[in-house]
Amino acid sequence: MSGGGSVPAPLAGTPSRNLLMRVVAAAVLVPLTLVCAYVGGWLWTALVTLAVNGLDIEWLMVVGAAGELRVATAGALALALNGLCLSFGRPEAALFVSILGLIGVALLSSQRRGWTIAGFVYAAAAQFAAVLVRADSEMGFAALIFVLLIVWATDIGGYFAGRGIGGPKLWPKVSPNKTWSGAVGGFVGSLAVAGGFAASGLGKALPLLALAGVLSVASQLGDLFESAVKRRFGVKDSSHLIPGHGGLLDRLDGLVAALVLAVIVGLLRYGADGIGRGLMVW
């Protein structure tokens, strides 16, 4: 028998192995995302469309409607047509397709209709937001990178602060591993990103810091929202697609929330043709 304070070897190495898998997955996915974001246009839209189809499928799996192939097919077809319309710069056509897709999903669903509809809306909103932020020819790339780095810094800062500091839980009934220290660490990480952009001349410091803070909070709320949905259906991970991260829903939940909020801010400030400028120019 080992001493009372010892930890079995397999368990002791688990956090390190999990961190290593996270790093390896990021080393593959981050460069791919950045290259597609830089190129923009159809390549970025194609990557986004592929990702949101994964989101919709994982959502159906989480809510227990994965067996409804007609619903999954209708959603996938609508999202693919959305991507085609958006790649040609026709968001109004994509909106029309989304409405038809929503109707199709609603009519074809025979179980948990409300949840399947919510999943399609979630995926379509993510698709529109990710493409429209990048579509601004003047500041789209900078705005997209700003949002991506905010979400990544929030995730990284929260991970290390939560594990290194610990302390009171943020919302144990929904996400038992998240702590207030992690939330603060993620928030501070987002401010560091905003400071870097301001120092590089890509916007004014105070507005960028305020925007970064709001987007960081949105990212964390998006994470909690997805955790609440999984908790509602007794699911731990949306899938095991990404080593160390779970599924696409687990990886992109915060980004979806931040991108949707970013689009709203950009639309209110500069309209549909200047979403990137609406985020970066103050």
DSSP type of residue 272: G
Give the DSSP H/E element, type plus range, for residue 26: helix 14-39
Q: Do 135 and 275 touch, CB atoms closer than 8 A?
A: yes
DSSP type of residue 168: S
> Could you give the CA distance from residue 180 to residue 259 in angstroms, rounded to a whole number?
23
Partner residues linked to 246 by β-bridges: 242
Q: Do 235 and 199 touch, CB atoms closer than 8 A?
A: no
Q: Could you state, in order of their start, the residue ranges of all structural domains in the chain? A: 12-280
Per-residue pLDDT of the chain in tens (282 residues, 90 and over written 9): 344 443 344 444 456 666 677 788 788 889 999 999 999 999 999 999 999 999 999 999 999 998 889 999 999 999 999 999 999 999 999 999 999 999 999 999 988 999 999 999 999 999 999 999 999 989 999 999 999 999 999 999 999 999 899 899 999 889 888 999 999 999 999 999 999 999 999 999 999 999 999 999 999 999 999 999 999 999 888 888 876 667 899 899 999 999 999 999 999 999 988 999 999 998
- Determine if residue 8 is left, alpha or beta; phi over 0 gives left, psi from -120 to 50 gives alpha, anything else beta: beta
Handedness of CA 127, 128, 130, 131 (dihedral sign): positive
pTM of this structure: 0.90
